Each structure stands twice: as structure tokens, then as C-alpha cells.
Amino acid sequence: MAKLTSELLRPVDAAHALNETALLRYAAANVPGFPAPAPTLNLTQFGHGQSNPTYCLEASARGGETKRYVLRKKPPGAILQSAHAVEREFQVRLISHPPLLLRLDSVCVQDDPFISSSQTFPVQVLKALSHTGVPVPKVYCLCQDASVIGTPFYIMEYLEGLIYSDNKLLGVTPAKRQIIYFSAAETLASIHKVDVNAIGLQYGRRDNYCKRQVERWERQYLSSTGEGKPARYQKMLDLAGWLKENLPAEDSSAGLGTGLVHGDYRVDNLIFHPTEDRVIGVLDWELSTLGNQMCDVAYSCLAYIIDATPGESSSYGGFEQTGIPDGIPQLEEYLAAYCALSGRPWPAANWKFYIAFSLFRGASIYAGVYHRFTMGNASGGERAKFVGRVANVMVDRAWDFINRANVLGGQPATGVQTSKAPWQEFGREQKGSTSTRDQGRFVPSEKVMQLRNKLLKFLEDHIYPMEDKFYKHAQSPSRWTIHPEEENLKALAKKEGLWNLFIPLDSAARARKLLFEDHSLISPGSSNDLLLGAGLTNLEYGYLCEIMGRSIWAPQIFNCGAPDTGNMEVLLRYGTKEQQKQWLVPLLEGKIRSGFAMTEPRVASSDATNIECSISRQGDFYVINGRKWWTSGAMDPRCKILILMGKTDFSAPKHKQQSMILVDINTPGVQIKRPLLVFGFDDAPHGHAEITFENVRVPVTNILLGEGRGFEIAQVSNALQGRLGPGRLHHCMRLVGAAERGMDLMIERALSRTTFGKRIAQHGSFQSDLAKCRIELEQARLLVLEAADQLDRHGNKKARGILAMAKVAAPNMALKVLDMAMQVHGAAGLSSDTVLSHLWATARTLRIADGPDEVHLGTIAKLELQRARL
Ligand SMILES: Cc1cc2nc3c(=O)[nH]c(=O)nc-3n(C[C@H](O)[C@H](O)[C@H](O)COP(=O)(O)OP(=O)(O)OC[C@H]3O[C@@H](n4cnc5c(N)ncnc54)[C@H](O)[C@@H]3O)c2cc1C
């Protein structure tokens, strides 16, 4: 959860009280622009972090002007005298959700030039950086005179913004999480790209940084453990040995990859703009130095490997064990963004070393804290007693890491060549690229435009010419087989990179992990990136899905057809590794298809709590009994898997009765009874099937997410249409495309046909109808794009109102436009000689199939009434 800087303020700790009169006098004389005349001071202290006491100075002048500043000082009694040996102090930050808990900012390292002897504060680096693009607070003055407030201090700019103190970013939307992590990568790259010579930071050596650090932290560990102290862990000493033997060759040089190192770089040392999702300040520069910058990068990635929160019951599992919270990029994606933005090579060769080193350094620090705890003087209270254990866990984790065959996959494509972060390229609204603010809210990026043009050409060249043949095949006795050209076109689409474009960024990240781990899963010749789409946001996909909607046959050619897209998303998000291997990978490859079996003839299925199909556990199997209908896609000979919704517990609370389970369509007891017709179209070879399930036994491992969690997957109480947010919108996007095709055909016809002495296009009534169609189409398109954008920015739940609006508006608009197009075509419009009647029939189903209009209208009205009550 993010907190505003001002929310971190609390009254000044008694132990940290200052001589406020002296401070005010000093600040008034030394801080340029300090409020005057006769300023008064209100002093509060930051509760975030416990390293160097940090205060907020609120200075008001007589007459009203009030300004805020930040003062940072040495802890009482901790003045570093240059004559002294450098005092090492290790502290643990025990805040509620600390990311790593390592507080390195009061650790003084002799050979870190900024903080050794003469320099006790990073004032110089902050000043030097103020002329670069690195966001840092402005420093106003440094007071070395300990007589003013008892220790040296400096005063800097107060930045009001958001601080995320928890690296899982709980309570933050997935889209925002992604931006936060990529922003962190971008900011780190900007620090590392600083030309230290140009800004006058030429402090000491850059070479052999890791070597010096390993030796230093080994010495530190030895001094914190051993006889009369906490027990020494042999594996830690072995780890030091391993690190010394495996120093990366690049460490010995002062070339590329060396330069300014922050030393304690992580998300909670960043301040974000309160509303704009960009970093406005990097904090805690006390450990900054020159050296090997990959150490910063690996350190910033530790949350993926370990949760070093000291505690009794913690598993200490990092994201790779506990799962990455939705939206947070995969490690490889974070790294790829960093590499692309910093121009650094992919660090696979030495990644083992850098992570092991970060864990080693952490373990040494924790061992120091634990030693101090056993002597009765560690900060952090009770929880400090666990840090000794965590130190050893870090060592174990380092060895696990070292012993892995593979620690880092190949570099995923970011869509960036050099200078832009992925979300900028992918066009997040906040970064103003796709929705280019200066060009208008919904203007597709260059990348999207290229894909869009490619799709349009593909339709013109390959799909429109085949429509008639596909249609005839679907009327022929071979109707329930696949026209051979369909598979050829799929291969061509894949080759052109027009494949699985529907996969949203965060889902792709999840799948990439699976495919990275086991390359044997995918067919030779296929590439991971190809299978995982183009890294698009929902908004970006909106522009492309619309194009696919122009033809009934197009979506499946690009592996973007319903219900596969929704089913793949369910498997991506909720499938176990085994389920993903068995079903998701062949679906991503387009080798098989799938169905979603929820609706039942006996009950009103728009209210999915009515569903009666029973799923009862018998030993290692679930036994399914029920009757489903309108299971789209189940007639397709390639359909191999159904996601079935049914009740596992008829007596549980209403929304806990339903579960979703995977059913292999060839399981004994699954019987396809008949294809249902939509206005006479059976939609062969895809079809909408009525199916009975009689004592169908499937392994218990086929359950999705767990018993009673069907609605959790469905997310809203209308399971089919609510399966997942993005899937819900795809129909709307396609309907905009279908209407656009209707417009094209309508205009073509009106321009070429003459009635009563003039072209239809010249009749006033036509012109008025055409204009109204265009207005409605544009309104609906904007609503659909807005819904996609809100889905990206706010997630499914918050966007549910606008999603419901789009779902009502899009089919009703498409019906009007297509109806008008049919009207202009006269009788031909109602025949199957044009695509119009088929497009219309499909659009009409979507006033029911994707949830009846009334249900969506109910959602919108409910939200409106709630809003009125607020
Ligand atoms: C072409 C097509 C494809 C489909 N594909 C699938 C599929 O793949 N898988 C699947 O499981 N199902 C599928 N369905 C079924 C579809 O999801 C259901 O038809 C839909 O959920 C409605 O359920 P129902 O038909 O039982 O209608 P009912 O629930 O009986 O509703 C009938 C009518 O009652 C009214 N109504 C309902 N709720 C309200 C309300 N809250 N307020 C006011 N009036 C209301 C509406 O007018 C509604 O149309 C498909 C349907 C079609 C036509």
C-alpha cells in the first residue's frame, strides 16, 4: 500500500529532539528562499526508515508563506570523526511490510569513498545529480558544524509523493504495479548511465568492486560470529570462497558496467509522483559509491528470490516461490527493461554470482544485527532475534541458486531497442505514448499501427478471398471438418507475428516463465515470444481485435477466437503447471481448441448460481453429471478440452457452490447430442453443442484453483461473460469491426446502385441514416477503448461499470449499423450472398450470449445508485 510522504510524518522522537531555535536560525541564514520575515518552525519526523534521523521542517513566515524541507542528520552519538576507525552500524528497518528489511543506509564501508572519512553525507552526489535526469531532491545546505543541533546535517527539498513500502505492492492495481517496477528499472538505468566524470564525481576506484566487497563482508561476518558470539555457519564461509573464485572477469575492469552505484536500490527508496506514476525522487544515497553496477541491479531483484522479513513462520520465499503478484513483471522482463534502457548486455553469464553476492552481503549484515541483538543493543526489538536465522536462510538460498542449472532465461523482447521502457513502447496512458496525449486520447502507437496495417492487409489478401469458400465448406457434408486452407492461414499468421495478440502483458509474463523453464514443451520451430503475443495492453489489442471482427472467420486464424482466448486466460492465471503443460501450451500453439460449458437448458443461466451440473468427489476423481447447451466450439474436431462449471457443494454459501474443472472432451460419458442453430446458422465447423455428462470421471487434479472457487475465477456473478475482464471485451472490440465492415459494404452498395434515378448514396434519407450509423459507431468505439484503457489502469473490478456499458452499447450499435447495411442491400442483404446476415446474426447473439443486456444494465444502474448515495 502506498503512503504519501506526509502520511509518514509523526511527532519527533524524544531521543531525536533538536535545538529548534538554533536550527531555525541556521536554516533562515543558509537555505535560499527560506520563508521570511520572522519564520516559525514546525518539526516532525519521518517514521519510514530508522537509519539517519530524518525530519520535516515546516517553516511559516509572518504573512502566511509556508514551505516544507527535509533535514537529515547523523544519529545522536554517531558522528563519524575522520580520525576514528569507521564505525559500522547495522540496522534493520522493522516497518510493517518491509521489502527486504535490509537497511544498508547506515552501514559505513571504508572503501566506499562517499562515506568514508571526510564525507558523511551524500550531499555531493545529490548536488551533482541535480543536473542530470536522475530524479533526486535538491540539496540546499550542508552543515558540518555539530554545535548547531548536535550532529552534522543537511537540508534538502521536501517531495510530496507516494512511497510503496511493500515490494508485493499489495492494494495496488496490476497495471500500476507493472508501471512501478518498470519505472524502478528505468530510474536505475538512468542512475547507471550518468557520466560521473562529466558531473565531477571522480571518487576512487571502480575496478575490483566485487572483490573488495566480498573481502569486506567476509571480514564483517567473521567479526560478528565465532567464539563467544553467535555460531559461525560453515556454508557462509564456503560462500565467500565460492564468490572469490567466481568473480566475474568484468569486475576487474573500470569499463562498461561500472560507474555510480546507489548501493541500496529498491522500490521503497523511490518516491512516485502522487498522480502521475513516475519517479520524482530516489532516496537514501548514503551507500552510493563507484563500482560494479550489476550489484545494484541484482540487489534490486532480491525480492524475486527471497522474502527476508524476519519472523517465526515465514517461508522466506521470494516471488519465484510464492508467485509473482499480478502485474509485477517477471524477473526477466524487469531485467530486459533495465538492459534495454541502460544499454547493458544481458547479464546471464554472471547472474549467479551477482545474486549470490547480494545474498551473501545481506547475510553478513543480518549476522551483524543478530550479534548486536545477542549483546542487547540491536534496533528492531523482538524481531531482531530472527535475523540470525534469516542470515542462514540467505546463505542456503545463495547455495540453492548457485546449484541451479539455469538461473536466467534468454532475454525477452521488450519491444524497445534503446531508450524507452516497455510500457512507454506499449503505450501506457500514463507515459503518453500509445494514447499520445498531445495527439489525442486514443491514438495508436507506431507499433500498434504497424500490426493493424499488417492485419488489414492479411484480411484483404488472405481472408476476405476465402470467406465464400469457408462458408460453402461449412454448408457442405464436410461441414464439421476444417477447411485445409484454415490451418495454412494459421501458419502464415504465425509467421507474420500476428499470433496470440490478445494475451495481455501480465499474462504473457506468467506464461513466459513456464515456457522458459521447459523448452521441450513447445514444438520445434516455435518461439516463446511468438506464442506470447506482442506484449500489448488491452487498449492496444482493442485496435487490432476490431480488425479481426470484420470477418467471422478471422479471429481463429490469429488464434484469437472465442472461447479459446477466455479459456487460455483462465489457464494462464489459474492453471497449475501440469494443467498448463497439458492444455495451455497446445492452445497457445493453436494445435487444439476448447469450449466453455456453463449454460444449462433447465435453468436460467444468466444467473450462474442456478447452474445444477454436479461435480462430486470420489477418491482421486471427480464425477460429473449434468446437461449443458450452447457450448461454443465443442463441435470443432480440434476441440479437446472443456472448462466446465458445476457445483461441488450444493449446501455451501451461494457463491461457493460452483467450481470450474477441466474435462477432456474424449472422456467416457461426455456425449455431444446436437449442434444448436442460430437463426439457421450452425456455425460449423465450430458449432454450439448440447452435451450430456453422465458419470464422467476426471482426476481431482483437473479442478481449477480449488473447490468452490468457480466464481472467484468468474470474478463476477455471471460466470460466462465475467470469466475474465479482457475476454469480456473482445466481443465488443470485434463488434466494432463488424460494424465497420457493414459501413464499408453499405457505402459501396449505395454508391453503385441506382434507385429512382439516382444513386442510393444521393438520397437524403440514406445520407441521414449513414451519418447516424457513423455517430453510433464512433460512440461505441470510444466506449470500448475507454473500457479497455480502464481495464489496463484499474483492473477488472473497478472497470466493471464501463465494461457493462460497452457490452450493451457495442452489440446494439452493431445491430443497427448492420441492419442498415442489409436494408441498403435490399433482399441481397438478407441472403447469404453477403456476409451481412451472418455478421448480424452473430451480433444479435451477443445481446444474450455474453450476458443479457438486462444484466449489464442492472450492473450500470447499481453503480450509479451507489454513486448517488456516496
Ligand atoms: C451463440 C451463443 C453462444 C453461446 N456460447 C456459450 C458457451 O460457449 N458456453 C456457455 O456456457 N454458454 C454459451 N451461451 C449461452 C449464454 O451464455 C446464455 O444464453 C446466457 O447466459 C443467458 O442464459 P439463458 O439462455 O439461460 O437465459 P436466461 O437466464 O433464461 O435469461 C432469459 C432472459 O431473461 C431476462 N433476464 C435475465 N436476467 C435478467 C435481469 N437481471 N433483469 C431483467 N431481465 C433479465 C433477459 O431478457 C434474458 O435474455 C451461448 C449462447 C449463444 C446464443
Q: In the numeric block, which cell numbers belong to residue 623? A: 464425477
- pLDDT greater than 90 at residue 661: yes
Shortest-distance Cα residue to atom 7 of ligand 1: 631
How far does residue 522's CA lie from ligand 1's centre (Å)? 37
pLDDT of residue 121: 63
Q: Compare 529 and 463 and report the one with higher pLDDT.
A: 463
With a cut of 60, say whether residue 347 has pLDDT above it.
yes
Q: Give whole-number Cα distances, 190 to 105, 186, 517, 533, in Å.
A: 21, 6, 31, 29
The reported pLDDT for the residue numbered 529 is 62
Higher pLDDT, 715 or 244: 244
Task: Answer yes or no: is the C-beta of 679 below 6 A from any ligand 1 atom.
Answer: no
The residue among 839, 841, 845 whose CA lies nearest residue 744 is 839
608 close to ligand 1 (CB < 6 Angstrom): no
Amino acid 184: pLDDT: 96
ipTM of the complex: 0.98
pLDDT at 536 over 80: yes
Report the atom number in ligand 1 closest to the C-alpha of 632: 8
Q: Which atom of ligand 1 is nearest to the CA of 718?
A: 21
| Average of per-residue pLDDT across 222-246 | 96
* CA dihedral (825, 827, 832, 838) positive or negative: positive
Whether the per-residue pLDDT at 598 is higher than 50: the answer is yes
Distance of CA 252 to the CA centre of its chain: 37
Backbone φ, ψ for residue 261 (5° rounding): -115, 130
Bigger pLDDT: 867 or 667? 667
pLDDT tier for residue 414 given thresholds of 50, 70 and 90: low
Instruction: Return the percentage of the chain with pLDDT > 90, whole number.
Output: 61
* Mean pLDDT taken over the chain: 85
Q: Which helix (H) or strand (E) holds 10?
A: strand 9-10
Quick check: 850 and 721 in contact, CB under 8 A?
Answer: yes
- Provide the pLDDT for residue 234: 97
CB 804 within 8 A of CB 783: no
Q: 552, 594, 602, 605: which to mutate for ligand 1, most atoms within 8 A of CB?
A: 605
Spatial neighbors of 47 by CB under 8 A, at least 6 apart, are: 8, 9, 10, 95
Residue pair 597/568 in contact (Cβ under 8 Å)? The answer is: no
858 pocket-lining for ligand 1 (C-beta < 6 Å): yes
Q: Which of 504, 483, 546 is nearest to 784 (CA)?
A: 546
631 CB near ligand 1 (under 6 Å): yes
With a cut of 70, say whether residue 428 has pLDDT above it: no
Q: Is 632 in the pocket of ligand 1 (CB under 6 A)?
A: yes
Q: Smallest Cα–Cα separation from 822: which of 812, 811, 831?
A: 831
Among 111, 376, 384, 365, CA closest to 236 = 365
For residue 678, give the ligand 1 atom closest to its CA: 1
Half-sphere exposure of 643 (CA within 13 A, CB side): 29
Residue of minimum CA distance from atom 21 in ligand 1: 606
Q: Read off the pLDDT of residues 59-103 as tens digits, 9 standing for 90 and up.
A: 998 877 789 999 998 776 543 332 222 222 222 222 222 323 333
598 CB under 6 A from ligand 1? yes
Q: Ligand 1: does its nearest atom lie under 6 Å from the Cβ of 567?
A: no
Q: Which residues contact 391 (CB under 8 A, 6 or more apart)?
A: 233, 236, 362, 363, 364, 366, 367, 370
Structural contact between residues 316 and 227, judged by C-beta atoms closer than 8 angstroms: no
pLDDT in tens, 98-133: 323 333 333 333 333 333 333 446 788 898 898 888
Find the distance separating the first CA and the last CA of the chain, reported in whole Å.
24
Q: Is 596 in the pocket of ligand 1 (CB under 6 A)?
A: yes
Contact criterion met (CB below 8 Å) for 75 and 15:
no
Q: Render pLDDT for 382-408 as a digit per residue (tens, 0 to 9).
A: 677 889 999 999 999 999 999 988 888
Distances (CA, A) of 378 to 364, 366, 381, 834: 15, 11, 7, 80
Question: Residue 720: CB within 6 Å of ligand 1?
Answer: yes
Nearest CA to ligand 1 atom 16: 849
- Each residue's pLDDT tens digit, 293-345: 999 999 999 999 999 888 776 788 899 888 888 889 989 989 999 998 898 99
The whole-number pLDDT of residue 102 equals: 38
CA separation for the pair 746, 405 (Å, rounded): 61
Q: Which residue has the higher pLDDT, 122 or 358?
A: 358
- The 3-state DSSP class for residue 664 equals strand
Q: What Cα–Cα distance (Å) separates residue 6 from each residue in 55, 57, 275? A: 11, 12, 15
Q: Tell the residue nearest (CA) to atom 49 of ligand 1.
A: 852
The C-alpha atoms of residue 112 and residue 106 are separated, in whole angstroms, by 13
* Percentage of the chain modeled with pLDDT above 70: 86
Q: Would you say the CB of residue 762 lies under 6 angstroms from ligand 1?
A: no
Q: What is the pTM of this model?
A: 0.58
Let me know how long the chain is: 870
Q: Determine the residue of 565, 848, 854 to mutate for testing ligand 1's pocket, defined as the one with the most ligand atoms within 8 A of the Cβ atom.
A: 848
Mean pLDDT in residue range 555-579:
92
The β-bridge partners of 596 are 643
